[in-house]
Structure 1
């Protein structure tokens, strides 16, 4: 793993929060990059994904990096198991769902004079900050559209994506990167054969 990677390197091209989270570890061949190098890089990724609640200067919970990596590995295993129709270990995902579950409260809203449901995310534990990822994963793998989750067809790419195109014929994580590389390689192969 290249420890010089940062959250800004993380590709957001999967059309799904959980898959983008899994893709925070990426690369081709044996050159892998991990965007999570410390607790702050995980928080930065969550902020970029627009799921980090306002923590009002509060310190990040200890163990965020460890739990994020554990959740990412588990999520990757669950997605691959779901694609192949096999069981997977669910303890980590279920723990994050249980421990991190936001608290819903009924409150009176003075400004408009009616009741509303307020949702408070648990910001004191890593599971609380990672709960939106776990929730997105559960929604994805139980969705009827899960069948459109794909792994990039480039032989050396590990990225996953949710093919939401109209024809469901998307083949690569990104046409600008892997799609172009594979088309150039195919062209060269054809030219060499001539």
Structure 2
């Protein structure tokens, strides 16, 4: 699930649940599943699943006003899997126990991302209180286009070199480090960061 006020996801991984802020909408979308071994974490099985996720994401959409067709769901999953491979190509890593064909990016992956980004995205609107909202009802295709455009902005923007994989050897979550010092190492201090601290403390005590 996602905290809609902050875009922080509550991720379930190997039976553990923890808070994870990937720092970008497109990277948040990667938590819904993926190619290869990512299929075991797939949550987008039905069109309604995508609508529900969009309601919990940092887009803050009303899922009841998002109409997702089976074709849009399939297109969204294809774009997400392509994005996974493009991110792995950027970070120079891939999930453990994966095969090269699962996460090696190809020109077709870039075409998939650009094709999705070329479609009409969600339309923003300004509320009387000065906050941004989205014109609803909207389609699943519009939401997918917005996610793809966010990926284009990330890959071509000032944080392109800060797309990173969690520093834990058995965690493949990715994030963009938007912190001022640029020293973020973990998907979450609650999970991998804390585990690293515990291991380091035990190692010092054993010396």
1:45–1:92: structure 2 CA closer, same or farther, 3 Å change rule? same
Provide closer, same or farther for how the CA distance between residues 31 and 135 of structure 1 changes in structure 2, counting only shifts above 3 A.
Answer: closer
Deviations 1:3-37 (A, max 9, x none): xxx777545511111111112338xx999522323
Work out the number of aligned pairs and report it.
Answer: 170
Corresponding residue for residue 97 of structure 2: none
Distance in 2 (CA, whole Å) between partners of 1:14 and 1:187 is 27
Question: In structure 2, do the counterparts of structure 1 residues 60 and 182 end up closer, same or farther at CA, with 3 Å as the change threshold?
Answer: same
Give the equivalent residue in structure 2 for 1:130: 144
The more displaced of 13-22 and 48-57 is 48-57
The alignment's TM-score, normalised by the length of structure 2, stands at 0.66
TM alignment of 1:27-176, pairs within 5 A: 32-51=40-59, 59-84=67-92, 88=107, 89-101=109-121, 123-124=138-139, 126-176=140-190
- The 8 Å contact of residues 90 and 163 in structure 2, kept in 1 or not, is answered as no
Query: C-alpha distance in 2, partners of 1:143/1:133?
Result: 15
When Rg is computed on C-alpha atoms for both structures, the one with the higher figure is 1
In structure 2, how many angstroms separate the alpha carbons of the residues matched to 1:141 and 1:42? 24
Unaligned runs of 5+ in 1: 1-5, 105-118
Question: Do the aligned residues in 2 keep the contact of 1:74 with 1:93 (CA within 8 Å)?
Answer: yes
Structure 2: any 5+ residue segments left out of the alignment?
3-8, 12-18, 93-104, 125-133
Moved more, 161-170 or 36-45: 36-45
Q: Kindly report the root-mean-square deviation, in angstroms, between the aligned alpha carbons of the 2 structures.
A: 3.4
Q: Assess, with a 3 A threshold, how the Cα gap between structure 1 residues 9 and 174 changes in structure 2: closer, same or farther.
A: closer
Please, what TM-score do these two structures have when normalized by structure 1?
0.70
SS at match of 2:175: strand
Is the Cα contact below 8 Å between 2:122 and 2:146 reproduced in 1? no
